[in-house]
Each structure stands twice: as structure tokens, then as C-alpha cells.
Structure 1
Amino acid sequence: MAWLVTGGAGYIGSHVVRAFLAEGIDVVVIDDLSSGHAAFVPDGVPFVQGSILDAALLRRTFAESSVPITGVVHVAGFKYAGVSVQRPMHTYEQNVSATVTLLQAMHEAGVENIVFSSSAAVYGTPSTDLVTESTAKSPESPYGETKLIGEWLLRDQGIATGLRHTSLRYFNVVGSGDPELRDTSPHNLFPLIFDALVDGRTPRINGNDYNTPDGTCVRDYIHVADLAISHVAAAQRMEAGEPIEAVYNLGSGDGVSVGQIMSTVATVTGIAFEPTLAPRRAGDPDRIVASGDHAARDLKWQMRHTLEEMVQSAWTARNQASTRSE
């Protein structure tokens, strides 16, 4: 058997690919390289460059794979919540229309398993500081809306065709499981901090008057390699015909503050700095942390890395990339 990883040349997708290979499971990657990197795809892994909006390409990928594809991990998508407000139609095309095209191609090919990359953005600003899978969904951006619609598409296709599916709701994904792989997003916290330090600028904290121990926002930060392991566990559970929930939160149950991250970065990098203080952003809640109990029960989910290890792995990957570019 083989699993197709859409977006498998991206930061998260490339870690998922390696987690499958570590379990001896064949993988096929499809990615349009709009935010991914061909160098992130391991040697020997079949790589199809193109968009999952291309139905003909998807049909060929399923039909021509040397190892039959029995499931899909759907990581591809437009993942920038803030930018999605300015580009709603692009976001819907990439995240909703593309998922429809993928599900149709899967059905035509007889592929009946899918693990979907969803997001904590489906919750918006929750009224509780410990989020569970049953917490009310109230997305506040086109990005969050498209992820929730993606979950609905899987649900409805499951009812119609028997598709086996689960959606994994990510919180803040950080770190690196391989020095060759790093987060290159221009919008995520770790790259923003590292870019500032490398450029000689001071990282910024938005607000220090929240109702938290150090006054800065508390959020869930999870290591990308731990996330990847749970994708493989979900795939294996489906292949074995074992029961699986429709959705899982991949959360720490605890969380760390932005202030803690800044001080840890200073320690790990050896670059002493005091963050610049900016006004708090409207709508930012004091604390959002998710319970990962269901995923721990079913998907081998656990926090295997300390905050320092998360920062160190990300910093090492960033430095290695800088060395290669010199």
C-alpha cells in the first residue's frame, strides 16, 4: 500500500512523509510548490508537481502509481489566516474547491481513506480556555471557514460513499524533526522571531497585560514531528479497520506564553534581547489551550519535546539552511 500526501513538499507535509517512511509505508507526494520545496521530498519518493485542482493530474496520479494508493493525507492548502481576509476567493479555491476535486478523484479511483489537515482556526475565539472537540465552532477568517467546510465535505462524502475519514485540528506547529526541514512561512511566530534576530531587529510582543502569569498570551505549541506521528497512526488505524473519531485536537493541554517563547529563544540562540512591546491585538484571548486526550487514546499523540527542544530544533534547521545558501 501507499499513501498520497498532498502538500508533501511543505513544512508539515514533508514531516508526515518521513513519518510514513519510518514505519515502512510507501508514500507518493503531490505539491504545486507554491509554498513547498522540492528539496524537502526525500530521494526515491515519487513526486508529482502540480495542483490538486487539476482533476486529470489526480486521476493519473492514482492510476499510474507503481504501488496502489490506499489513502490520502490531505495537507495541501492556503494556510495564511490573516491573508485569507484579503484573498477570500483564492482561499476558497485552494481549500474548498481543491478538496472537492480531490474527493471526487479519490472516489473514482476507489481510494476510501483520508486524513485531513484541519485547524484550530475552526474555533475562532472560544469562550473556554481549554478547547475540546465539542467546543463551539465559530471561525473568524475565510481560512478557518474553509477548514470547517473541509470537515463537512469529508463528513458528507462519508455518509454518501462510506469514505473513512478523520480531521486533525492543529494548533501552533513549531520545531523541526530533521535539520533539512524548516518552517519557511512568513507569518508564523518562530520564523518571524528568527528573521528579526538574524536581521539585527528586535522581536515584538503584542501586549503584556493579559490575565496570564507573565501578562502575555498563552497558546498551544506542538512539535511538528509529534504531529506527523499521529497522522501515520490515523492512517494505520484506518487501514486496520479500527474505529476512528471524525475529529481530533492535537493539543498540549497546557500551553506556553509568548514571553516564555521569547526567553527560551534568547537562551537557545545565545542572542540576548528584550522584546519590543506593541499594543495588544483586538480579539486576542488570554489563553487558548486544547485537550489532546482523544488523540492520545487513539493516535499515539503525546508531547515528546520540551519548549527548549522545539526552539533548538527550529533554530538548528534555520542555521543549516543559512549555511547551505552561503
Structure 2
Amino acid sequence: MNVLVTGGAGYIGSHMVLALLEAGERVVVLDDLSTGYRWAVPPDATFVSGDISDGPFVERLLEEHRIEAIIHFAARIVVPDSVADPLHYYLANTCKSRALFEAAVHAGIRKIVFSSTAAVYGNPISNPVGEDQTPMPVSPYGASKLMSEWMLRDAAAAHDLNYVVLRYFNVAGADPAGRSGQSTPNATHLIKVAVQTALGQRPAIEVFGTDYETRDGTCVRDYIHVTDLIGAHMCALRHLQNGGENAVLNCGYGNGYSVLEVLDSVKRVSGVDFTVNLSPRRPGDPAKIVAQADRIRRTLKWRPEHDNLDLIVQNALDWERRLHNRVHG
């Protein structure tokens, strides 16, 4: 199958490309390299530099490479940034996705796997949160993704198009073989920032909010290993290949860890007792969000293999060391 991966030079997209190539698929990566890296794209994949919002360009690309499915990762993903600059997020995540979906319809694409987020739920009424709970995003990031979900749903109803929407919870870790990982400078992902602090690349780490109604006052999240997340995408692609129905599915384990519990894991795995500074809450951060994850297992026959916080931290730590050596020699 010929598969287009948008954002395939980024953190999650680069892992997707590796998995597709291993499965014998032909992969084309479309990325503007605004946050991704050309070196993150394996040589066996075809790399094209460009913007997903350029409709005529994307249509030609889809037709030239005889693309049969699109896996759409390209997006902006930092919640506080979306609060500070909402219009940029609606442009990057919603308007550009609309242009991509239109190009896909014009080119006759029948299969799309879309990267969404648990941020569509906002502050859930109950945890774990299931797919049937009414989305109520509290950040422009979550809202921008939810609007893209709606557009895809409506396009599928009007055209011969099938999709799987995967709502990610907190993606972390790195390829266990050390081929890819989270490489974005100034990243805000908790585990990445924590391992950088453990390695002495940051002087300290800030904990934003210690007065939430959680077991230790800090935010609780469901952390999913990036390799298991990619496994879910592979299952989604096979689901569509086999004529499966459209689906919206949570991607998480159903286990929640607080910020302080994550930091304890990083200290334990790294053997370093680094400095932790306590700071006020950030806007747009829900207190607790944990996945109800039975539907994805039932629908896609997905079976995660890396549901272990210390393992996630260890892989992130190993990658951060490799990345540091790559950059600094």
C-alpha cells in the first residue's frame, strides 16, 4: 500500500514511518520541517518538503505517488501556546487539515487515519473518560483538533471516505531500538523535560500546579509509549484496509500517573535527584484525564506491549543521551 504520512519528520510521525517500512509499505513523507527533522526520515521513505494546506500541490503529490491512505500527524501541539496564540492553532490544525481533506477527496483517497487528542475532552466529568463523553475542550488546541474531527466525519458522510480518529493521551518514550525519539528543542512534554533535567541539560524542572483535586495535588495523566501508539495506527490502517467502519478511539492504557509520580520514576531510573520547582497552574491544563481504553482493544484488536512507566522513562532517557551526542558530538 502507498501511504502518505504528514508530519512524518516529527516525533510520532517518524516512528510511524519506521513501522510502515518494516511492514513492507511504500511511504511518502510530507513535512514542512517547521518542527521535524530531515534526518529523522529513513532513506527508504520518499521525502517531500511542503505545506499540507497547498491543495493543488497535495493533489498532485497524491496522484503522482498513487497514494491509497493518509496518516495525518502534521499539527501544532503545545496547549499553553494555543492559549497564547489561538488563531495560529486554528490555522495550523483546523484550516490546514481542511485543505488536506479536500485534496484527499479530490484525489479519491478512501482511507484516513487522523491524529487527534484527549484534549478534546477538556476537564472530563468522570475518569476514566470514554469516547461517548461529550467533548468540551478547554484549550484552543483541543478545540482545533475537535473541529478537524468534525470536518473529517462530515466529509466521510458526503464522500466515499473512511477514517479512524485516534485520540492520544500523553505520548512519551522513544523507539526501543534507538532509531527515533522526541527531538524538538524546548519541548514541553513532562517526561522529556524531566530526563533532560536528570542529564543536566536543564538546571531544574517546574511543576505547574500543586493544588489540584488529585491524590498529591498535581495533574494526573495517562502516559502511552510511542511504540504502542504506533501499533494502534497500524491496527487502524489494517482495519480500514479490511473494510472496517469509521471509528473514534482513545489511545491510552487506562492508568493515571501524577506529575510527582512521573518525576519519582525519572529520578529512580536515572539515579539522579534533580531540582524540582513548584509553580502556579498553567491555563488550559485539566486536573486529571485518564483513558477508558477498552473500545480500541475491542475494535482494532490492539494489544499494547510497553505499559510500564519506568520502561517509558528508560527509553526516553536513552534517546535523550543519543540526541545529545548527535548534536554535541
1:238 to 228, 237, 240: 240
Report what 2:12 is aligned to: 12
1:301 aligned onto 2:302? yes
* Displacement after TM superposition at 1:26 (Å): 1.7
The aligned runs of 1:130-279 (5 Å cut-off) are 130-177=128-175, 178-185=177-184, 186-197=187-198, 198-199=200-201, 201-245=203-247, 247-273=248-274, 275-279=276-280
How far, CA to CA, are the matches of 1:46 and 1:98 in structure 2?
22
Q: Distance between the aligned counterparts of 2:218 and 2:321, measured in 1?
A: 28
Q: Which moved more, 1:75-84 or 1:113-122?
A: 75-84
Distance 2:165 2:18 in 1: 20
Q: CA offset at residue 141 of structure 1?
A: 1.7
Q: Partner residue of 2:62?
A: 62
2:63 partner amino acid: A
Give the Cα–Cα distance (whole angstroms) in 1 for the partners of residues 92 and 202 of structure 2.
36
Aligned to 2:122: 124
Matched, 1:75 2:77: no
* Alpha-carbon contact 1:292-1:301 (below 8 Å) kept: no
Task: Identify the range of structure 1 (202-211 vs 291-300) with the bigger mean alpha-carbon deviation.
Answer: 202-211
Consecutive unaligned residues of structure 1, counting only runs of 5 or more, are: none
Q: How far off is 1:280 after superposition?
A: 4.3
TM-score by length of 1: 0.93
* d(CA) in 2 for partners of 1:200, 1:84: 24
1:121 corresponds to which letter in structure 2?
Answer: A
> What whole-Å deviation, never above 9, does each CA across 1:209-250 have from its counterpart, x for those lacking one?
4444444322100001100111111111111112342x0001
**Residue 87 of structure 1: aligned partner:** 85
Partner amino acid, structure 1, of 2:191: F
**Is the Cα contact below 8 Å between 2:6 and 2:31 reproduced in 1?**
yes
Alpha-carbon distance between aligned partners in 1 of 2:2 and 2:266, rounded to the nearest angstrom: 39
Q: Is the 8 A contact 1:164 1:238 kept in 2?
A: yes
Q: Distance in 2 between matches of 1:288 and 1:168?
A: 16
Identity in percent: 41
Query: Is the contact made by 2:122 and 2:286 (CA closer than 8 Å) also made in structure 1?
Result: no
Q: Helix, strand or coil: the match of 1:69? A: coil
Contact kept, 8 Å, 1:173 with 1:222, in 2: the verdict is yes
Shift of 1:259: 1.5
Of 316, 319, 322, the residue aligned with 2:318 is: 316
The alignment's TM-score, normalised by the length of structure 2, stands at 0.92
**Alpha-carbon contact 1:58-1:102 (below 8 Å) kept:** yes
How far off its partner does 1:292 sit? Answer: 1.0
Could you tell me which residue of structure 2 aligns to residue 35 of structure 1? 35
CA contact (8 A) 2:127 2:289 kept: yes
CA separation of 1:132 and 1:260: change in aligned 2, threshold 3 A: same
Q: Are residues 93 and 294 of structure 1, via their aligned partners in 2, closer, same or farther at CA, if it must alter by over 3 Å?
A: same
Give the paired residue count: 323
Structure 2 residue matching 1:51: 3-state secondary structure:
coil
Q: Distance in 1 between matches of 2:17 and 2:202?
A: 35
One-letter amino acid of the counterpart of residue 222, structure 2:
D
The SS at the match of 2:146 is: helix
Shift of 1:114: 0.4
The alpha-carbon deviation at position 200 of structure 1 amounts to: 5.2
Q: Distance in 1 between matches of 2:314 and 2:67?
A: 36
Root-mean-square deviation (CA), in Å?
A: 1.8
2:23 matched to which residue of 1?
Answer: 23
Distance in structure 2 (CA, Å) of the matches to 1:109 and 1:282? 40
Alpha-carbon distance in structure 1 between the residues aligned to 2:27 and 2:277 = 44
| Residue deviations 1:246-305 (CA, integer Å, cap 9, x gap) | x00012112112122111111221212352333445675543211111111122434422
Equivalent residue in structure 1 for 2:102, among 82, 101, 104: 104
8 Å contact 2:80–2:284 — kept in the other structure?
Answer: no
Question: Structure 1 pair 56/146, CA: closer, same or farther in 2 (3 Å)?
Answer: same
* Change beyond 3 A, Cα 1:210–1:142: closer
- Aligned-partner Cα distance in 1 for 2:312–2:16: 17
Matched to 2:223, the amino acid is Y
Cα pair distance change 1:233/1:113, threshold 3 Å: same
The 3-state SS of whatever aligns with 2:13 is helix
User: Once the two structures are superposed, what CA deviation does each residue of 1:47-76 show, in whole Å capped at 9, x if it has no partner?
Assistant: 1111101112212211221xx311100110
| Greater Cα offset, 127-136 or 78-87 | 78-87
Partner amino acid for 1:173? V
SS at 2:290 equivalent? strand
